[in-house]
Structures are given as C-alpha cells and as structure tokens.
Amino acid sequence: MKITLDPIGIVSTDVEKIPRHWTVSVAEGDLIINNSYIEGLREIQTGQRLYVIFHFHKSPEFSPEYIRIKPQVSDKIVGVFSTHSPIRPNPIGLSILEVLSVNDNVIHVRGLDMLDGTPILDIKPATDP
Amino acid sequence: MKITLDPIGIVSTDVEKIPRHWTVSVAEGDLIINNSYIEGLREIQTGQRLYVIFHFHKSPEFSPEYIRIKPQVSDKIVGVFSTHSPIRPNPIGLSILEVLSVNDNVIHVRGLDMLDGTPILDIKPATDP
C-alpha cells in the first residue's frame, strides 16, 4: 500500500550553512504555507513550539546500505531508526521549531535544520495535545 | 509535486478503546516492523521514547470544512494546525511512545493512540539528536 502526500508549503531561508539538527540550531527562516490553508494557522502564536514534518527532498533514495550508519556526532555505527539521518526508508523529517512571528501564511521560525526549498508536509502544536 | 511513501510496518493492539492522544494513553501494543528493516532497530532499548510517524488510514479525505474544527478537549473552534486532529491536509500522525521491550522486528510500546492496523511510516529516537 502506497501513501501519497502533497506539500502544504515550503521552507524559505537565506542561511547558507544549515545546522545538522534543530536541537543545535538557531537558524531562522520562514514556513510559507499555501494560501488555501491560511485559516488553519490563525491560532499559531509567537513563542510557541511546532512539530514540523517535512520531506527530505534532497536525499538519495534509500537502499540497504543505509540501514546501519555512522551518525555525524558519533563513532558508532547504529541502526537508522536510532538516528535522525536524512536517508531513511521514508524520507520524512521532524523538527521542533520556535515561532518568532506569524503574518498571514508566513510563519517565521528559529531552529531550522531544513534546507531552503524543503517541502512541508504538516504542522502540529508541540506542547498542547 | 507529490510524495509517495511505503509503510515500514504496522501497529498491532488488542486494546479496543484507544485513547485520543498519547499524552493521556497507557494503552500497550506492538510496532511490527518489516523484516527487511530489522538491522535498523538493533539499538532501540527498553525505557527509550520514540517518535512514531504514522498514517491516519481511517480518516476521511481532507476538505475545506476541516480547516477550522473543535477539538474533543475544547469548546473553541481552532485551526487544524493548532490541533492533533486525524483529519488534516496530509493524514500523518505523530506519537511519542515508550519502549517496553524489543524482540527481533517487534517493538512493544506503551502510550498508543493509534488503531490496530495503522501503517507506520517512520521511527526516530525522541531524545538523542
């Protein structure tokens, strides 16, 4: 069974050296969401943290050689599901980002670890269930 | 641009009344991962928490009427991106689950808010970047 998704928006940033992970990033940028979803963003507030689910659109296709890998921050080879490697069976990323401001369909965020042009798949509140 | 994903496994649980959200769930069940990915699971340990990304496979198709909704736990109508509603532009869910044990390709977890048969798309470690 295949599942097909359509991005809800795109990441825009002029930071050239994007940190490897949101836990160590203060890079800023915008989540530009399609205008058709603007009413879904209205309660998002400055200071809030968001789960942002996105597509690793620049990753090579997954193959068995990527099942066990050496993370950048470790000397040990481990299973892909114990890492946040961008090369995974389904090329989906998850970042927790801080909202700096919201203007219409543009959410300005801090903590980016996504490249400029990254397709955004979903946004959820990181704190409130 | 469309993105196509293929589940890495499936949720199995005999709990009949699944809680609405992992933050209020002690339901137990298994993440049964395809055997081809078994080497990717080897470092997952009892007590660890996992981000589990999954497909809301029972949700109706998203349409504009679901952009603003009333969450089960609130009287206020809010934008879908400020909720964890299963009816969203891309039907992707995220839960943080606790690992109780791992046996080969089966991860026994607590905190389930997914239905039996839910397709699993990705697993990431919830603590270590």
pLDDT of A76-88, one tens digit each? 999 999 999 999 9
Confirm whether B1 is domain-assigned.
no
Inter-chain Cβ pairs, chain A and chain B, closer than 8 A: 154
HSE at residue A96, side-chain half, CA atoms within 13 A, is 14
Supply the mean pLDDT for chain B. 93
- Contact of B108 with chain A, judged by CB distance below 8 Å, is answered with no
Least confident of A6-20, A115-129, B109-123: A115-129
Greater model confidence, A22 or A14: A14
Q: Output the CA angle B20-B25-B26, nearest 5 degrees.
A: 150
- Contact of A14 with chain B, judged by CB distance below 8 Å, is answered with no
Nearest CB to B39: which of A42, A68, A119? A68
HSE at residue B59, side-chain half, CA atoms within 13 A, is 22
Using alpha carbons, select from B21, B16, B98, B9 the residue that is nearest to residue B54.
Answer: B9
pTM of the complete model beyond 0.90: yes
CATH code: domain of residue B80? 2.40.30.70
CA distance B26 to chain A (A): 15
Interface test with A, best of B32, B49, B94, B122 (most A CBs within 10 A): B122
Contact B122 A73 (CB under 8 A): no
CA distance A14 to chain B (A): 23
Confirm whether A1 is domain-assigned.
no
| Structural domain total, chain A | 1
Judged against a pLDDT cut of 60, whether residue A129 lies above it is answered with no
DSSP calls for B9-39:
EEEE---SS--S-GGG---EEEEEE-GGGGG
Confirm whether B3 is domain-assigned.
no
ipTM of the complex: 0.94
Confirm whether B4 is domain-assigned.
no
Band of residue B129 on the pLDDT scale cut at 50, 70, 90: very low
pLDDT in tens, A19-64: 888 888 889 999 999 999 999 999 999 999 999 999 999 999 999 9
**Domain of B35?**
9-125
- Contact of B75 with chain A, judged by CB distance below 8 Å, is answered with no
Judged against a pLDDT cut of 70, whether residue A11 lies above it is answered with yes
- Three-state DSSP at A28 gives strand
Question: How far is it, in rounded angstroms, from Cα A128 to Cα A125?
Answer: 6
| Burial label, A1 (beta-carbon count in 10 A; 0-12, 13-18, 19+) | exposed
Predicted pLDDT of residue A60: 95
pLDDT in tens, A89-110: 999 999 999 999 999 999 999 9
- Contact of B117 with chain A, judged by CB distance below 8 Å, is answered with no
Contact B92 A5 (CB under 8 A): yes
Confirm whether B110 is domain-assigned.
yes
Confirm whether B2 is domain-assigned.
no
Band of residue B18 on the pLDDT scale cut at 50, 70, 90: confident
Contact B67, B89 (CB under 8 A): no
Residue with the two structure tokens 């949700």: B59
Question: How far is it, in rounded angstroms, from Cα B31 to Cα B50?
Answer: 11
Confirm whether A4 is domain-assigned.
no
Nearest CB to A53: which of B80, B94, B119? B94
Confirm whether B80 is domain-assigned.
yes
